[in-house]
């Protein structure tokens, strides 16, 4: 039976991804936890490699905020920023195939034992609800007029989940939680400015995984997105964004070991980004 590994934020570091895959046991399968592209030197190479592996049945990829940003830029809804490294994708002859492949990727996955997301889960959501809500955004991205959703995707409001939310407000809250969340209040009100360590949130806010009455507390969750935490193993939650693009490492976590309450990782040295402090 092939081993399954979870891979943290790649962010365009194709060389590191290839080196990490070579270190995995032969024919291993992998799930990448979002932010496949951007900031690193070869976002195009990353997408091509992962698309090929996914089509071979060896990989799946969850969408992160940088991946959604690429979709919005490609659709003409957002402009690239100074640190963005997606121009090669936009100029590639296989641009359409890559974008179509990317927008058909999930926002959350679970085998019933472990939940996988890019960023976080709001305290009011249990496992089933998280997966159902993720499907709503996935369906919006897979429509022919998916650009309509992308044009309304950005914004910090509403800042909290309510079951009564409808339309683009509902989809925006779901997207923000799954791809941007770090800090929130116990009632689920989100905050998006703080990006440093666990104690860097404003008064009244705490890391989403530290909420005492979080409904997903009994199921292990693996996430990326928060590189300043490094490799985190706390409260039945494992963070594996170890800052590959900022000179840290690219991490693969053995899912089979995790299900036995063991943390086993394989890592490669990250990319020495010229803008890192």
Q: How many helices (H) and strands (E) does the chain have?
A: 9, 13
Number of domains in the chain: 1
CATH of the domain at 68: 3.60.21.10
> Which pLDDT score, from 0 to 100, does residue 276 have?
63
User: Based on the number of CB atoms within 10 Å of its own CB, is 52 exposed (0-12), middle (13-18) or buried (19 or more)?
Assistant: exposed
Q: Is 138 helix (H, G, I), strand (E, B) or coil?
A: helix
> pLDDT of 24-65, one tens digit each?
999 999 999 999 999 999 999 999 999 999 999 999 999 999
Radius of gyration for the chain, computed over Cα atoms and rounded to the nearest angstrom? 17
Residue 276 lies in a domain: no
> Distance between alpha carbon 107 and the CA centroid of its chain, in Å?
8
The Cα diameter of the chain in Å comes to 49
Residue 277 lies in a domain: no
- Judge whether 165 and 173 are in contact, CB under 8 Å: yes
Residue 75 lies in a domain: yes
Residue 206 lies in a domain: yes
Q: Which residues of the chain have pLDDT under 70?
A: 276-277
Residue 274 lies in a domain: no
> Which pLDDT score, from 0 to 100, does residue 45 have?
98
pTM, 2 dp: 0.97
What CA–CA distance (Å, rounded) separates 207 from 266?
26
> Which pLDDT score, from 0 to 100, does residue 275 have?
74
Please name every residue paired with 30 in a beta bridge, in sequence order, or none if there are none: 5, 59
Residue 146 lies in a domain: yes
- Quote the domain boundaries for residue 140: 4-269
């Amino acid at each position: 039976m092939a081993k399954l590994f979870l891979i943290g934020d790649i962010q365009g570091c194709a060389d590191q991804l290839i080196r990490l895959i070579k270190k995995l046991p032969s024919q291993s399968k992998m799930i990448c936890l979002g932010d496949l592209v951007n900031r690193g030197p070869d976002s195009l190479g990353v997408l091509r490699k992962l698309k090929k592996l996914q089509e071979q049945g060896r990989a799946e990829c969850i969408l992160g905020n940088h991946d959604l940003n690429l979709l919005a830029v490609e659709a003409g809804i957002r402009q690239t920023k100074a640190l963005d490294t997606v121009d090669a994708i936009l100029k590639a002859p296989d641009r359409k195939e890559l974008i179509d492949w990317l927008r058909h990727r999930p926002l959350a996955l679970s085998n019933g034992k472990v939940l996988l997301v890019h960023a976080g889960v709001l305290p009011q959501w249990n496992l089933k609800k998280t997966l159902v809500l993720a499907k709503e955004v996935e369906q919006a991205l897979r429509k022919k007029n998916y650009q309509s959703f992308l044009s309304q995707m950005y914004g910090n409001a509403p800042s909290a989940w309510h079951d009564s939310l409808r339309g683009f407000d509902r989809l925006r809250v779901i997207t923000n939680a799954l791809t941007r969340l770090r800090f929130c209040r116990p009632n689920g009100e989100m905050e998006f400015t703080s990006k440093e360590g666990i104690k860097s949130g404003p008064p009244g806010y705490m890391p989403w995984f530290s909420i005492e009455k979080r409904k997903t507390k009994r199921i292990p969750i693996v996430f990326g997105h928060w590189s300043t935490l490094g490799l985190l193993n706390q409260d039945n939650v494992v963070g594996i964004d170890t800052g590959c693009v900022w000179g840290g490492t690219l991490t693969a976590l053995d899912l089979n070991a995790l299900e036995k309450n063991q943390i086993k990782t394989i890592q490669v040295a990250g990319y020495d980004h010229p803008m890192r402090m």
